[in-house]
Amino acid sequence: MKKLLTGNEAIARGAWEAGVRFASAYPGTPSTEILENMSQYKEVYSEWAPNEKVAVEAAIGASIAGARSLAAMKHVGLNVAADPLFTFAYTGVNGGMVLISADEPGQHSSQTEQDNRNYAKSAKVAMFEPTNSQEAKDMVKAAYEVSEKFDIPVMIRMTTRSCHSKGIVECKDREEIEIKEYVKNAAKYLTVPAHARKLRASLEERMSKLLEFSNSIDLNFIEWNDTKIGVVASGAAFSFAKEVFGDTASYLKLGFTNPLPTEKIKEFASKIEKLYIIEENDPYIEDKVRMLGFDCYGKNLFPAFGEMTPDVIRKAVYGQSNETIEYDKNEVVSRPPSFCAGCPHRGFFYELGKRKNVMVSGDIGCYTLAFDEPYAAMDTAVCMGGSLSIGHGAQKVFNMKENNRMRVVSVLGDSTFLHTGINSLLEVAYNKGNTVNVILDNRITGMTGHQQNPGTGYTLQGEETVEADIDKLVRACGIKNVAIINPNDLKLVKDTLDWALSLDEPSVIITRWPCVLKKFTEQDKKEFATAFQSKCRVDDEKCVGCKMCVKTGCPAISVEKANKKAKIDLDTCVGCEVCLQVCPVKAIGKVES
């Protein structure tokens, strides 16, 4: 049976066909759809974890218990999950365990462009790199065989293009793999130093066997054409290279890339006149080729950052780009990303942006957009959960200065707080900080597409479960000054910020209002009964064209060319009433939906 699948869908299909029983992940572009698709296979238990480290640890537990397991994440998620991965490489598996790392060449939606192939090398785990959806599915199945044969976790490195591009995939039936017996074995799974030293030696033996395997596996293959030009490539870069060179070059296609097939590289490179190493981001393959003694064109010719595309390759090799249709770029109006109409973050940042002598320590989520105009209400964003601890460190230094007037407001979302923000808040409370800490609780994991989290009260499958109480969590961390507010009430936001900034001890403000795009639960309907039940309209007779409403940044509001007065698109407006509150002449009123 053939299906048209994205790479992420193919990963899920491959795991299902391979008999996987357990899958865990934390959502993050471009990996999110892997677990969403896994959840559609009822034979696989799938769950959202609070963060990537927990996802990997849960998959490790499932593996030790005897089941084939999978953990999926975006590339920066592996920074969080690195600790258990490195140790599990030492212990090895019981049931096969595969980790999917979705890298982001070009940084479409990420704060870094790190190349996670370096993690596979450093942690000493096996690694596959699919080029297309068919390979993604097939390599997942192969990865479980490798994992169990060589007693090692396996990483599959995807990229944005291989995750989201579609291709025809030949699908097969599921292979039911019996859960292996669990046998207590502290020498294998309990890594006290006396055990770990032996496991370290064992890991080197396993990697030596994997090197032999890498040189023989048919996923690493040579395609001989003209030997004047030779290309070594992996992943999506292989397709791009084929598009540029066609049959005018010979190819060494690498699908299994840790350890790299040294003998096959020598066989290929020794017969090539001009050798190109085409890979995205770091010179991972190139470094090995040069170490083997071969001269080549790699990062001295191709960029070490950004996406590799056929045009990038063509320009680097031939000095020319593909012909494209020219257009007048001045005629295209820029459309930067912005908060949705009715987004509960807008009112809060509208008020926060007015503050002077305030550093806003931000985080990763929809709310990061507050850095831009018209709010200019965010100064830093480093990593998930980092806002609170980064803000704490900054405030400690500001407090060292005489006559200090600088205050820090740290901001993160509900899912981010539950991801890695709790430890950061403990840091603030335990070390007697005095930052203002804001948790924007929009009742869902918004930016990645409305995934459930421990604070929503529902599992990945939509089943009711316990709901983490953020208010109680905050107080349990030692915070005494806590306020829960409606972020659309601008006076309340202003007064609460005034209160929090007047304190010389830590405080937490929880803004609680649902994302405007969220599908309401029965609980939401009760708690937020008035949400999105009206719209706003401008009275042309009263409007003076001051544009104060425009400064709220709502995409439903525009200015009429003819009369220079504000206009609200009733199809877009959801009645958050932020514009109504900022209008100085009361020209905006409510209209019942």
> Distance between CA 512 and CA 456 in Å, rounded?
12
Cα dihedral 57, 62, 66, 67 in deg (nearest 10): -130
**Residue 383 assigned to a binding site:** no
Judge residue 304's burial from the number of C-beta atoms within 10 Å of its C-beta, 0-12 exposed, 13-18 middle, 19 or more buried: middle
What distance separates the 2 farthest-apart alpha carbons in the chain? 83
Structure tokens at 169: 């995939």
Task: Judge whether 361 and 410 are in contact, CB under 8 Å.
Answer: yes
**What type of residue sits at position 573?**
C
**Residue 549 assigned to a binding site:** yes
Instruction: Please report, in angstroms and rounded to a whole number, the separation of the first and last CA atoms in the chain.
Output: 48
CA distances from 574 to 348, 524, 536, 589, 593 (A): 17, 16, 8, 13, 9
> Distance between CA 7 and CA 166 in Å, rounded?
7
> Distance between CA 269 and CA 252 in Å, rounded?
9
Residue 588: beta bridge partners?
Answer: 538
Residue recorded with tokens 């049959």? 247
CA distances from 324 to 293, 321, 334, 593 (A): 40, 9, 20, 47
Residue recorded with tokens 């169990």? 148
**Residue 546 assigned to a binding site:** yes
> Distance between CA 522 and CA 24 in Å, rounded?
27
**Residue 579 assigned to a binding site:** yes
Phi-psi region of 218 (alpha: psi -120 to 50; beta: other; left: phi over 0): alpha
**Residue 536 assigned to a binding site:** no
> Distance between CA 358 and CA 355 in Å, rounded?
6
> Distance between CA 39 and CA 140 in Å, rounded?
17
> Distance between CA 41 and CA 530 in Å, rounded?
38
Residue recorded with tokens 């006149």? 273
> Distance between CA 285 and CA 279 in Å, rounded?
8
**Residue 340 assigned to a binding site:** no
Q: Interior CA angle at 11 toward 9 and 15, to 5°?
A: 120
CA distances from 248 to 50, 134, 270, 320 (A): 50, 25, 18, 17
CA atoms within 13 A on the CB side of 159: 25
Binding residues: 543, 546, 549, 554, 573, 576, 579, 583
Binding residues for [4Fe-4S] cluster: 543, 546, 549, 554, 573, 576, 579, 583
